[in-house]
Structure 1
Amino acid sequence: MTGSGPGAPPPRGVRAQLGRRRDQLIAVGWLVLVWNLLWGDFSWGNLLGGLLVAAGVLVFFPLPSVTFGGRLRPRGLLVFGARFVVELVRASLHVARIAVQPGYVPRSAIVAVRLRVPTDLNLALTAEALSLVPGTLIVETDRDAAVLYVHVLDVRGPADLANARKQVRIVERRVVAAVGSAAELRQVLSVPVDKESS
């Protein structure tokens, strides 16, 4: 029995509309904050200017809504941050060694990796985390198929390609463990990263 009284939850369409409005208000808030930070002064003029710019961006450049259905996990965030710093240092040293090694010409490759959680948020966060590490770069994304095309530096053989795919899936798993829902976490943990198909 669906209730329609004062204590009943709003219908699904109304909830979706309220969610979109909430997301738009959050986007306006961030855009206004960035606008004021760019000017370096929080004033009424900059506040009004930021509101006008934010409204223009949302009206003329609408982006698909990215809703957050997960939850923040402090332990997952800590593990993600710590491992990210370790990988950043390790990759930086590896790229520096390649740069100064005389006569060595590294081979690179582009690998396609299908993510296990096909949400826009997971796609964006995983791609950003990978692109920030030296030696890897996202060259293209297939949003519909949830596939990342990753440029990898210093590939010597098939084992390096398999390792690159594995690393992408490990990063995805850490992202989901930090901010994903319980269902998404079960999804990425259901199959070990070294057993997943490419």
Structure 2
Amino acid sequence: MSARTRSVLATVWRQVPFFVWLVALWMLLWGQFTALALVTGIAVAVFATRVFRLPPVELSGRVNPWWLVVFIVEFLWALVRGALTVAWQSVAPRHPGTAIIAVQMRTDDDLIMTHVAVTASLIPGSLLIDSDREQRVLYVHVIGVRTDADVEAQRRDISRWEARIVRALGSRAQVDAVRGVIS
């Protein structure tokens, strides 16, 4: 096998997880896990990956099952807590304060930044409004803040989400970069 063939196969192999994710996303969007949804999902994934050429995303190749479970449990807890908090704020007599905060990412990885942005947006009470890829900054709109201490607490929470995601999916160098963040 030639070096060029090995290189092409390695590139294709690295893209398999994203291809599988596109097919799964298609099936989730349709709410069907049938053979027809699988076939149409594959067709859409092939079309999307051929028409919309994106640069290949390099995975770290490392998944820590323990930290992945910790992330999932803490994420589910944050969903419940966030929903209850937002529900309380909607009926509370005092109007909750809002803020747009900038959160500096510690890692230099587009995939990790995307995971953090999606996680922050899925938790009720916060929403990603912009990201600066070059500076590695996420801008997040949050509710329920009244003081500078509340803003800093929200910023720390998002930094903790980055640390959790990196511990679950990041490379060794990324784990070292977030080591000081308490989860």
Shorter-chain TM range is: 0.7 to 0.9
Q: Give the aligned partner of residue 44 of structure 2.
A: 53
Counterpart among 73, 78, 95 of residue 82 in structure 1: 73
Aligned length: 179
Secondary structure in 1 matching 2:138: strand
Quick one: distance in 1 between partners of 2:112 and 2:24? Answer: 24
1:108-140 residue CA offsets vs partner (Å, 9 max, x unmatched): 111111111110110011111111110011111
Do structure 1's residue 105 and structure 2's residue 95 form an aligned pair? Answer: yes
Quick one: distance in 2 between partners of 1:166 and 1:39? Answer: 36
Q: Which runs of 5+ in 2 are unaligned?
A: none
Q: Give the aligned partner of residue 132 of structure 2.
A: 142
> Once the 2 structures are TM-superposed, how far is the Cα of residue 22 of structure 1 from its aligned partner?
2.4
Q: Structure 1 residues 28 and 182 mapped into 2: Cα distance closer, same or farther (>3 Å)?
A: closer
Identity %: 36
> Once the 2 structures are TM-superposed, how far is the Cα of residue 79 of structure 1 from its aligned partner?
1.2
Letter in structure 1 aligned against 2:48: V
Secondary structure in 2 matching 1:109: strand
Q: Give the aligned partner of residue 107 of structure 2.
A: 117
Counterpart among 148, 151, 158 of residue 158 in structure 1: 148
Q: Give the aligned partner of residue 196 of structure 1.
A: none
| Normalised TM-score (structure 2) | 0.83
Q: 1:11-90 residue pairs with structure 2 within 5 A?
A: 15=7, 17-32=8-23, 34-35=25-26, 38=30, 40=32, 41-43=34-36, 47=39, 49-90=40-81
1:69-97 residue CA offsets vs partner (Å, 9 max, x unmatched): 14111110121112112222222111111
Q: Structure 1 residues 70 and 169 mapped into 2: Cα distance closer, same or farther (>3 Å)?
A: farther
Letter in structure 2 aligned against 1:188: V
The root-mean-square deviation of aligned C-alpha atoms, in Å, is 2.7
> Once the 2 structures are TM-superposed, how far is the Cα of residue 98 of structure 1 from its aligned partner?
0.6
Which has more radius of gyration? 1
Secondary structure in 1 matching 2:97: coil
Q: Which runs of 5+ in 1 are unaligned?
A: 1-5, 194-198
